[in-house]
Structure 1
């Protein structure tokens, strides 16, 4: 009984001490006060360090940290957790093996097998206003008051619409923006991959952007460009600057070619991931084994394997035949084309070889 009273007295004293952890002077805000519960407590009065063991709970405002062992440095206002721990905060749960938490700044550095779960948030009408996702990383810096974080050492984010990896991942909760930096890669459920040095994802608007050097790998299609703005819900995006699209060859189970390859080069491209249809927004060229074509605008329907060259359209065949017009439609599957309005055709006529004159004995 005496032991229990002594422990409770120490607990009460500790709560009062840590309640001042925000600093002496002005009155401490209730949200900054820290409450501690533990089965065993002892301290080093010289170093001003308190040791906690057994069902440890530290609460500050809406933040709760639970573990089995912890140390609290009263001078630095910092707690050290070296056993498995869980931090819970409204809409966020973090687990890790180690944590250094600053009560004054309300920030924590987690390490060793860190998992952060961002819960889905709905408004009063049940509408989703913040998407759920899970982050895994070796190291994580987290701000309790803003819910912002920075993950390092090859982090990974799992979202229902994508899985993203990068050397560093930053998150702004107010903007609902994920920033993937360094070897950034996003994988879509259908297998599509988007890579770049930096990828910015806004989970509120369902879009992503790659500001510099992007590559999209879709089934049978590869697109590279300088920039990309992409809607991952609608599954379409716009590429800009030095755009190169490669439609790879497709074969059936018997090895028969069902779709021929071609390469498109342009400065602006609208691309639909699901249908593989596209439309250019600036002059473009297409290279195929049977023709080279160019126009101010080129549209493609992948299901029909049909290319439409519009405005100042030109088509050149391997033997030198040139066709021009306002609209040229090419059926790649049937190897046919039609030209509408202002049609012009040019082709070379080789001269017949000299015929020997009758009686000429040369």
Structure 2
């Protein structure tokens, strides 16, 4: 497993000279924050250290760490918390990634690899998102190129005199609906005629493959279709215009409710409200996840390093997954507060991406 580790921006020279005592104290402060979200004071730090060190000596080291921009005091006379820069330094220089727990591996394999006759690629990705949410207690997110399955069946269901529901069923079990306009005075038989015409030419093909063939057939099959039925065929095709050619990205988010758990103060509630607003801005989330596609492994985004989380101060851990041709086709990950359990979630995201990739290769 590899982690994409960006170079620390404007890193003070003193970071490279941190001695073991300073690193140990800094690690204790970060570990406490990731576990409890609370600041850690010098007296408690001195009790946690493996070597005997007075609270006064600890305070001196904490002052040096604060001068380097690694920690700060949220209130006067309070303990210390890591800054965003400190978290980035910890993740890039000090984070120790362990093996995934056997029970987590089993849960990932069981849920992602669950099979059923009607299970689509989107079902797999939705399950992966829900799984990551459950294991991390954050929000699980997946962004992937929208699939263009072979078509099994298409039909038109009348809704109103001048509107119908176009239903497209894929051979993978997927179903998509579109509202299409109908010509005035259209007889009910014209909907059946248009559906039969389309099914004869689209079945077994993707939308991209079928569209041009159907358009050519409409132009040369005037004797098979009356004008009103031809209009319905054209409307049905137009309703899916660009659906395969542009390969839109689909975003799947599960577990937003997890973000409301373990709130410690009103400012936490406001931060989570901002994060939920961020997740509603789907295009921004898609763009951020897209940045992880170029990574060699897991990518970690912390707080205002990206504009999406500049207000909510959240973090995202993401990894790309590949199809059978080794082409990156999507990214999955976890979004949550900056005090995510990075050591546990990083291998979890990495392993899930690998399982999803293996499953796509088999498909």
* TM-score between both structures, scaled by the size of structure 2: 0.20
More helix by share: 2
Pick 1 or 2: higher relative contact order, CA cutoff 8 A, min separation 6.
2
Which is greater in Rg? 1
Higher strand share: 1
